[in-house]
């Protein structure tokens, strides 16, 4: 069977397996031209193809929560951002959202302005503001002296500075002004996420009714679940309106909790990295926003403390961990790094191998190691 939007694809890849929107093709092929997929099919390709023996072709990965990589952080401007993007692309992530940590409103304005051009060029899929409108009780790796209640005029200043580049904002929804801010964000088409929060179950439920649609790294840096006060996490997990972020690295969440959350949120969970600059880089000293971070054995913590400070994860590792350690079926794990986060961003041209979608492809071996990556039809995993 062939699904084609054009018969004039200028490049054709075939593989032992192709995972497209209709299931697994064994073998299968994909054609693309001008950076877009023009056709897919099972069996023999219609034109001469490059065959990827022993490999599986899947859509490029989409990471909606990422602070940096390759020794570089998004807070350091566009040149650093390019370094981070190249690092994650080599690991299969062809679409990234740049997450910015708590800082002054003025500093966030400058950071958003510096990254807006990359968003306009579609090098970044958007900007995520993780703070400063967070809870001091669950601040994680955020500077407590800079945390504040959300005032819409201030939030709007940062949004306007990005000229549409800001795609998501995380708030502690119990803070004064948070629900009004959630409603305004939703009205403007910006995703409102709940996280770093001490919200009760009732407060979280009200926030969901007000427009919260994403759980920022569920279970991490928020009120713990209690049998008499379920808190934020359970409200977010139970709501069919909410997309749930999970960090599958063996550090942030126990495998049993990950599996339970994935089963409860079937079809609406996404795997994210929450990666800081040390992702794809050696252990050592780094910064996460204004804070010092120490990385030892791939585990990032605030310097001199045991507080987790993001991760050194890449999405290919997250997929392997989810499948091999947590026992999630491969197709579900791949959906959580492709189609599900693409839907969150409202991008029907990403996370899917269908005619018209961007030609973002990842070739995986049987151990789920990345062997090749294409973005917009160009091989990008070999770039320096």
Residue 384 lies in a domain: no
Residue 50 lies in a domain: yes
**183: CATH:** 3.20.20.140
191-200 per-position pLDDT tens digit:
999 999 999 9
1-21 per-position pLDDT tens digit:
344 433 444 799 999 999 877
Residues 211, 258: one domain? yes
Mark 251-266 as b/e (b = at least 16 C-beta within 10 Å). Answer: ebbeeebbbebbeebe
Neighbours of 103 (CB within 10 A): 20
Residue 382: the pLDDT is: 65
| Domain span including residue 361 | 2-59+352-379
Residue 133 lies in a domain: yes
The residues near 326 (Cβ < 8 Å, ≥ 6 apart) are 248, 255, 258, 259, 262
Residues 205, 187: one domain? yes
Residue 157 lies in a domain: yes
Residue 192: the pLDDT is: 98
Long-range contacts of 328-331 (CB under 8 A, 24+ apart): 328/259, 328/262, 330/368, 331/19, 331/24
Residues 224, 139: one domain? yes
State the average pLDDT over residues 47-67.
Answer: 94
d(CA 64, CA 41): 29
217-258 per-position pLDDT tens digit:
999 988 999 899 999 999 999 999 999 999 999 999 999 999
CB 49 within 8 A of CB 12: yes
Q: Is the pLDDT of residue 128 over 60?
A: yes
274 is catalytic: yes
pTM of the model as a whole: 0.94
The top-scoring range by mean pLDDT among 20-34, 131-145, 175-189 is 175-189
| Domain count within the chain | 2
Residues 292, 317: one domain? yes
Residue 8 lies in a domain: yes
* Percentage with pLDDT > 90 across the chain: 87
Confidence band of 49 (pLDDT split at 50, 70, 90): confident
Residues 19, 157: one domain? no
The residues near 169 (Cβ < 8 Å, ≥ 6 apart) are 128, 129, 133, 155, 181, 185, 190, 191, 192, 193
Question: How far is Cα of residue 237 from the mean position of the Cα atoms in its chain?
Answer: 18
Tokens describing residue 138:
């669950």
Residue 171 lies in a domain: yes
Q: What DSSP letter does each residue of 61-76 carry, written as one string? A: EEEEEE-EETTEEGGG
Residue 8: the pLDDT is: 47
305-352 per-position pLDDT tens digit:
989 888 999 999 999 999 999 999 999 999 999 999 999 999 999 999
d(CA 115, CA 75): 9
At residue 293, what are phi and psi to the nearest 5 degrees? -130, 140
Among 122, 181, 139, CA closest to 157: 181
Residues 28, 173: one domain? no
Calculate the alpha carbon distances from 212 to 181, 209, 340 in Å.
10, 7, 17
| Catalytic residue chosen out of the listed positions 20, 63, 198, 274 | 274
Q: Is the pLDDT of residue 365 over 50?
A: yes
Residues 316, 365: one domain? no
**33: CATH:** 2.30.40.10
Residues 222, 291: one domain? yes
Residues 28, 125: one domain? no
Residues 30, 101: one domain? no
Residues 190, 314: one domain? yes
Tokens describing residue 40:
């897919």
Residue 140: the pLDDT is: 86
Q: What DSSP letter does each residue of 293-340 carry, written as one string? A: EEEETTEEEETTS--B-SB---HHHHHHHHHHTS---HHHHHHTTTHH
State the average pLDDT over residues 29-43.
Answer: 93
Residues 65, 199: one domain? yes
CB 67 within 8 A of CB 288: yes
Residue 47: the pLDDT is: 77
Tokens describing residue 185:
């964000």
Among 120, 220, 237, CA closest to 170: 220
Residue 268: the pLDDT is: 95
Residue 6: the pLDDT is: 37
Q: Is the pLDDT of residue 149 over 70?
A: yes
Q: Tell me the average pLDDT of the chain.
A: 93
Residue 332 lies in a domain: yes
Residue 80 lies in a domain: yes
């Amino acid at each position: 069977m062939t699904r084609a939007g054009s018969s004039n694809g200028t490049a054709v890849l075939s593989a032992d397996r192709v995972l497209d929107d209709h299931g697994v093709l064994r073998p299968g092929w994909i054609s693309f031209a001008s950076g877009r997929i023009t056709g897919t099919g099972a069996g023999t390709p219609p034109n001469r193809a490059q065959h990827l023996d022993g490999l599986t072709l899947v859509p490029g990965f989409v990471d909606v929560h990422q602070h940096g990589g390759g020794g570089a952080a998004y807070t350091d401007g566009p040149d650093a951002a390019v370094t981070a993007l190249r690092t994650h692309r080599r690991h299969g992530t062809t679409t990234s959202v740049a997450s910015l940590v708590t800082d002054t409103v003025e500093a966030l304005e400058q950071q958003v302005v510096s990254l807006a051009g990359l968003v306009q060029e579609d090098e970044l899929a958007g900007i995520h503001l993780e703070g400063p409108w967070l809870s001091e009780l669950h601040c994680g790796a955020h500077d407590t002296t800079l945390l504040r209640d959300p005032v819409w005029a201030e939030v709007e200043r940062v949004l306007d500075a990005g000229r549409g580049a800001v795609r998501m904002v995380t708030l502690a929804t119990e803070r004064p002004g948070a629900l009004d801010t959630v409603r305004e964000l939703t009205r403007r088409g910006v995703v409102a996420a709940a996280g770093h929060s001490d919200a009760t179950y009732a407060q979280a439920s009200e926030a969901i009714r007000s427009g919260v649609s994403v759980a920022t790294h569920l279970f991490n840096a928020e009120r713990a679940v209690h049998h008499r006060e379920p808190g934020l996490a359970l409200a977010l997990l139970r709501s069919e309106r909410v997309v749930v972020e999970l960090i599958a690295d063996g550090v942030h969440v126990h495998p049993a909790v990950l599996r339970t959350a994935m089963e409860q949120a079937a079809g609406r969970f996404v795997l994210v990295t929450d990666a800081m600059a040390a992702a794809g880089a050696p252990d050592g000293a780094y910064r996460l926003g204004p804070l010092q971070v120490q990385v030892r054995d791939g585990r990032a913590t605030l310097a001199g403390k045991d507080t987790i400070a993001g991760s050194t994860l890449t999405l290919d590792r997250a997929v392997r961990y989810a499948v091999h350690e947590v026992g999630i079926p491969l197709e579900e794990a791949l959906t959580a790094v492709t189609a599900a986060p693409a839907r969150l961003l409202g991008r029907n041209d990403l996370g899917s191998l269908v005619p018209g979608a961007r030609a973002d492809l990842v070739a995986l071996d049987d151990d789920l190691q990345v062997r090749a990556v294409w973005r917009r039809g160009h091989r990008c995993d070999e770039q320096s």
